[in-house]
Structure 1
Amino acid sequence: MFEVREKPQMVERALLVRLYFDPREADESEALLEELGELVTTLGIGIAERVLAKSRSMHKKFLCGTGKAAEIVELARAHECDCIVFDNSLAPSQQREWENAADMCVIDREEVILDIFAQRAQTKEARLQVELARMQYALPRMARMWGHLDREGGGGSGGSAAARGMGEKQIEVDRRIARTRIDRAQRELEEVRKQRATQRHAREKLETPHAAIVGYTNAGKSTLLNHLSGADVLAKDMLFATLDTTTRKIELPDGQPLLLTDTVGFVRNLPHRLVEAFKATLEEAVLADFLIHVLDASSPEVQQFHDTTLEVLAELGAGDKTTITVLNKIDRVEDPDQAALLDRLFPDAIRASALSGQNLDGILSACSAVLADRVRRHHYCIPQSRADLVGLLHRDAKILSTEYEGNNILVHAVVPPSIAGRLEEFLTP
């Protein structure tokens, strides 16, 4: 894998910077800088200081003026930092200008998220998605990253010159290899998507309803899935703990089965290339029958997190899905003002705590209500000679009780529409 630059093996101290250009953006910029700190901490990098700087206008070279850039560089050196991390997106040329001025590693928010994803990806699909996003990010940044890349290769036989060909620069070789890897990752990812589609079609044949758990990163989605299904999905108090979807089958209070899928968490300013690269993962949200939107009720930015998730869902084409909103971590809300804010913003949301198990029954009941029109409880009187129909009920429905009366089998069951018609003549009042 090509790296964006030859970064130190271990970055120990970083200066975090966010530049803003409109005074009205000050509060939001401060919150984003705080979130960047959580992202950087997730990578195990120490934070020397956070700098929130206002620039009167956007400059081409450093994004800010040269005077402000000199102040930031001097501060990084004073703290003996080995990296400057920008919350703003930096163009490749701006990234190089900052590195030349500071003589140290300079990265932006997108690269931080990519590095986290690279560490956490477990399945083949997630690793391919990360590789694709990293290569697309790195490709325009290859120019002048390393001095040897500008050297031309002569002709002749053997060695790197033969690999490059007459007069071909090393940078051109690396770019060609990078494009080859991008093409290969895209092909392999398409194969993975076909496999997922096959698995999905198999689920659809069973007509089992499907819900996707969505929400901001670290809202408690994996913990909720674990408690509802008995799964063992990684659930930690950190950003992007989950990068791979996990689907588990549960049973609702009315006896109906439901497939629950945990999805990767959203984040503000999620790089567009990551939305594209992870579309195969996030398409579970697009194809689900309904969504369970989990919010961290204890966060003062709960409204911004809610809006961010809705924006990403709309971009994915899932903005009009039926949605159950869950205010998770409600047991941590002790401030009366925060409680009043939640009541005003989310009057119909379910208050729950995935960690303590508080009101998880309410979530399951809400799921049953969403799917109420898909199933009915029926009583059947089936002759023992039609044991095949009893087998059908056992396979595709939920048997609530079975009794025997003479030569008949009395069955009480929750029946999906897909098989209800075949049993209609055996219905009893």
Structure 2
Amino acid sequence: MIRRACLLGVERPGMKSGEAESLLDELEELASNLGIGMGLRKIVRIREPQAAFLLGTGKVKEVLEEVAREECDSIIFDEELTPAQQRNWEREAGGKILVIDRQEIILDIFNSRASTKEASLQVELARLEYMLPRMKRAWSHLDRQRGGGAVQRDAGETQLEMDQRLIRTRISRLKTELKDVVRHRETQRKQRMKVPLPSAAIVGYTNAGKSSLLNRLTGADVLAADKLFATLDPTTRRMELPSGQPMLVTDTVGFVRRLPHRLVEAFKATLEEAIVSTFLIHVVDASSPEAEAHFKTTISVLKELGADMKNTITVFNKIDRGIDGLNEAELRHDHPEAIFISARTGEGIDRLLDKCEQMLREFGQAMTLLIPHDRYDLIGKLHQAGAVRSEEAQDEGVLIQGTIPTRLLDMVKEFSTNG
């Protein structure tokens, strides 16, 4: 258990002014979510990374002296460390200091947030893939032959080799289980597509207010805690737009700068909701001074998922918290099509709903139909598709108003009263 940590940021050539400090602020928030106390914050400027320690040997000595003086029991790097670099730092500190990186902190937070079987499998896979190349560091004191034991060991196999083999076996099994999860999700999606409603995936930086927006739009009661990675499992709810058009809305896991790539891979089954949705609602915390950086991070991760070209509504949330005038002016200038809202108070939600209606015009077409009484099969299909906003029985047939999905237009166009 880490009691008192030194947070160590690295400023490389080419980084924007204040970027290293901002990343270190974020690392502090990440670490505080695990109950880790802060003893020291330090940013080290480097010209180029060194293979052995990332930093030069002079800086290593300087950092370790400060860590000892502040009585820290660990160093948390904001940069990703190689397994060898972690070992070298801990060896240099005489084995008295634990050295970890941002990736391990994020993995630990995900592990503490996982609440369903799917999320637990995904987190375990990411953690084991991170741990495997670091086994030598963990078991160097046990690098000896072990005789007997409950697990069968191959001839000449060391404790380290056996544990590595067990982890590889577990990774293989997890990947198989996750394939089953993906298949199950695809089955669920096909069931939903039998009633082919349009869908929107809410994406964005962690703690941007995505779950709060889902609750506001759908009247759901999804956990909307003010903490990082509160949502790890996708939640889908049905809602109706002002026109009466039904729509599915899905909350997704939040992104973060320097998100471990293995987590992007491990959470493909969750994040693919963003890929298959009709359009995206990209939520950004407008009250954050890092709003633009958060926007770019989400776009970058969406690009990894192949979802960066989807129709997207950009939403700047939390305007009730107050936005710095200069920041707001820059955001409005750089994102002229964006909508500014407060999911908490409801301000701006009407404009967002109008924008959703606009997005869905590509999904279907608003029409008034007079369908003969002998074509109740067609009326049934329209109901199944969630296309009917109102219907009225008349002598000539059934008068229907609604948004007709593109795939059904050819079936119904002869009954249109729109001319």
> Shared fold by TM > 0.5?
yes
Q: Deviations over 1:141-188 (max 9, x none)?
A: 11142345311135xxx536x832443210011000010000000100
Inter-partner Cα distance in structure 2 for 1:361 and 1:44: 39
Deviation (angstroms), 1:398: 4.2
From 149, 166, 175, the equivalent of 1:186 is 175
From 356, 369, 383, the equivalent of 1:394 is 383
Match of 2:320 in 1: 331
Equivalent residue letter for 1:27: G
Inter-partner Cα distance in structure 1 for 2:345 and 2:334: 24
Match of 1:18 in 2: 9
Match of 1:271 in 2: 260
Inter-partner Cα distance in structure 2 for 1:227 and 1:370: 19
Structure-2 change in CA distance of 1:410 and 1:65 (3 Å): closer
Q: Secondary structure at the match of 1:267?
A: coil
Structure-2 change in CA distance of 1:159 and 1:349 (3 Å): closer
- Give yes or no for the alignment of 1:373 onto 2:362: yes
Deviation (angstroms), 1:256: 1.6
Q: Secondary structure at the match of 1:168?
A: coil
Deviation (angstroms), 1:57: 3.5
Deviation (angstroms), 1:214: 0.9
Q: Deviations over 1:201-223 (max 9, x none)?
A: 22223221121111111111111
Pairing 1:211-222 to 2, within 5 Å after superposition: 211-222=200-211
Equivalent residue letter for 1:198: T
- Give yes or no for the alignment of 1:159 onto 2:149: yes
The 8 Å contact of residues 233 and 270 in structure 2, kept in 1 or not, is answered as: yes
Match of 1:340 in 2: 329
From 112, 121, 124, the equivalent of 1:128 is 121
Structure-2 change in CA distance of 1:144 and 1:224 (3 Å): closer
The 8 Å contact of residues 197 and 385 in structure 2, kept in 1 or not, is answered as: no
Equivalent residue letter for 1:51: K
Match of 1:5 in 2: none
From 68, 79, 84, the equivalent of 2:75 is 84
Structure-2 change in CA distance of 1:180 and 1:342 (3 Å): same
- Give yes or no for the alignment of 1:322 onto 2:311: yes
Inter-partner Cα distance in structure 1 for 2:393 and 2:140: 85
Deviation (angstroms), 1:21: 3.2
Match of 2:243 in 1: 254
Equivalent residue letter for 1:82: D
Deviation (angstroms), 1:134: 0.7
Percent identity (aligned):
53
Structure-2 change in CA distance of 1:361 and 1:106 (3 Å): same
Structure-2 change in CA distance of 1:400 and 1:259 (3 Å): closer
Inter-partner Cα distance in structure 2 for 1:260 and 1:131: 28
The 8 Å contact of residues 114 and 134 in structure 1, kept in 2 or not, is answered as: yes
Inter-partner Cα distance in structure 2 for 1:316 and 1:378: 35
Inter-partner Cα distance in structure 2 for 1:54 and 1:424: 67
Q: Secondary structure at the match of 1:18?
A: strand
TM-score w.r.t. length of structure 1: 0.91
Inter-partner Cα distance in structure 1 for 2:15 and 2:250: 38
From 69, 94, 101, the equivalent of 2:92 is 101
Equivalent residue letter for 1:357: G
Deviation (angstroms), 1:83: 1.6
Equivalent residue letter for 2:197: T
Equivalenced residues, count: 416
Match of 1:7 in 2: none
Inter-partner Cα distance in structure 1 for 2:317 and 2:77: 31
Inter-partner Cα distance in structure 1 for 2:218 and 2:81: 42
Deviation (angstroms), 1:368: 0.8
Deviation (angstroms), 1:378: 3.1
Equivalent residue letter for 1:145: A
The 8 Å contact of residues 13 and 45 in structure 1, kept in 2 or not, is answered as: yes
Inter-partner Cα distance in structure 2 for 1:413 and 1:61: 66
Deviates more, 1:334-343 or 1:92-101: 334-343
RMSD between superposed Cα atoms in Å: 2.0
Q: Secondary structure at the match of 1:159?
A: coil
Match of 1:141 in 2: 134
Match of 1:235 in 2: 224
Stretches of structure 1 that go unaligned for 5 or more consecutive residues are 1-9
From 109, 119, 122, the equivalent of 2:112 is 119
